[in-house]
Amino acid sequence: MPDSQLLSLFEKKRNGNVKYEKLVEKFPGYIQELKKTGVTLMILYTEYQKEYPDGYSYSQFCYHFQVWRNASKLTMHIDHKAGDKMFVDYAGDKLEIVDPKTGEIHSVEVFVAILGASQLTYVEASFSQKSEDWIRSNERAFLYFKGVTNAVVPDNLKSGVTNSNKYEPRINFMFNDFADHYGTVILPARVRRPQDKALVENAVKIVYQRIYAPLRNRTLFSLEELNEAIWVLLEQHNNTQFQRLKISRRGLFEKIEKQALKALPKERYAIKQCRELTVQFNYHVELREDRHYYSVPWQFKGKRVRVIYDDRIVAIYYDNIRIAQHKRDRAPNKYTTLHTHMPADHRNYAEWSPERFIRWARSIGGNVAEIIKVVLKSRKHPEQAFKTCMGILNLVKEHGPDRLEKACEKALKFGFYSYRRIKNILDRGLEEDLFSEQKEHSIPLHENVRGSKYYQ
């Protein structure tokens, strides 16, 4: 027997029963109360008994309520507590937009989200089911509801669940990070368990009737225009009363679920990307998108790390512990390096500058300082000359400041500006020959020397 026929017989049988009629009047309110956290039929019966001491017994109370809710097709929705879950999925059928320039037709996805208790629904179109579109659709659903549920229940699409394991489903990294940002959790529906997502599947069917059907003869030329049309029809749907509850989804939301939602965070979620990379020999990882290099502590050289980044921040993790964080820099072929990530010898080298080399050279002598200045200017970038300068200045340890000063004076005279030439002068003791006068040699007279007159 159909439920509607059963209900009509039941109501006819009870016609004229004042006690029953007073009880039935309370059933729509009980439906709303049962959606609130902690509310049970026993609590409702206790309140009923206080108001009607001569009313039904608890078993009869439960029986009449069970028959009534089964007949009104509300069974599956009663167990959803206010603010507990948001069910999300894509509609199987797509909508279309037309390119105004070429006339080409593009199919678009339709995202549907529904709150478990009030059944308030959110719908929007997007170009794809890719992770970024999926995340933003879920986010706009929270913004539409002006709050966050305790959990999000998606189907097992790849943008939400990377591995739909029966016992330990693996959530997509970006979706899980999104959930952390909004203070909720992801509870994927079980594979081949339609009862887990019955609410959203039923919502999709209603969306077909109340949104797809009215739009079937309209031509829309952009995603924005399509969404505007969807949202007008969506408001009509959310404000339409349930047949037996005599209240709309919007009214039910305002009454029982709005206050149960958690507050939205102050900032919207920043889309993050994740890469598994190996730390290079120079204790940096390369973010290939920007061709930019970021440092990690040098002890992690050769390790496999996880790099998580968004438009502003690059964070690097090893063994689920963050070991480095940098401000994102999109300058190609450049390095972002923290001083504390360097080994001791590299750290000391990084502290050098042209001015420091010149100050050190002046403390030895003026000629040494001149040599260092010339070496620094001879390179396109000063850092290219740092090793040469370091080598020249360290010669003072073996040969002393006086000999190095004289060797640099001789090097300046002959234009020798390399570490090897100056070291060679010192090793051979040639710095003392600088002031020896060169003797002028004249060619002696000889019969074979013709002289300039011979060519006149």
pLDDT tens digits in sequence order for the chain, 456 residues long: 666 666 666 655 555 577 888 888 888 778 777 766 667 888 888 888 888 888 888 888 888 888 877 765 544 444 678 888 899 999 988 999 998 888 899 999 999 999 988 889 999 999 998 888 999 999 999 999 999 999 998 887 766 676 665 666 677 778 888 899 999 998 887 655 555 567 778 888 888 888 988 888 888 999 999 999 999 999 999 998 887 667 888 998 998 889 999 999 998 888 888 889 999 888 899 998 888 999 999 899 899 999 999 888 999 999 889 999 999 998 888 888 888 888 876 665 666 778 888 888 899 999 999 998 888 888 766 666 777 888 898 898 888 999 999 899 888 888 888 888 888 888 888 877 644 444 445 566 666 767 666 665
DSSP class of 255? I
Give the relative orientation of helices 18-34 and 58-71 as an angle to the nearest 10 degrees. 70
Q: Please return the burial class of 53, using the count of CB atoms within 10 Å of its CB with bins 0-12, 13-18 and 19+.
A: exposed
Kindly report the pTM of this predicted structure.
Answer: 0.56
Beta bridge partners of 329: none
Residue carrying structure tokens 């820099």: 329
d(CA 352, CA 365) in angstroms, rounded, equals 20
Q: What residues does 318 pair with on adjacent strands? A: 321
For position 23, what pLDDT does the model report?
85
| Beta pairing class for 185-186 and 105-115 | unpaired
Specify the CATH number for 85-260; select among 1.10.357.10, 3.10.150.10, 2.40.110.20, 3.30.420.10.
3.30.420.10
CA distances from 271 to 26, 134, 178 (A): 47, 11, 8
Q: What is the pLDDT of residue 435?
A: 46
What pLDDT is recorded for position 417?
82
**Measured between alpha carbons, how far is 15 from 10 in angstroms, rounded to an integer?**
9
Neighbours of 52 (CB within 10 A): 13
Name the burial class of residue 71, with classes exposed (0-12), middle (13-18) and buried (19+) by CB atoms within 10 angstroms of its CB: buried
Residue with tokens 């010898």: 345
**Contact in structure between 41 and 65 (CB atoms under 8 Å):** yes
Structure tokens at 286: 């390369």
Alpha carbon separation from 165 to 32, 175, 177, 189, 345 (Å, rounded): 35, 17, 19, 11, 50
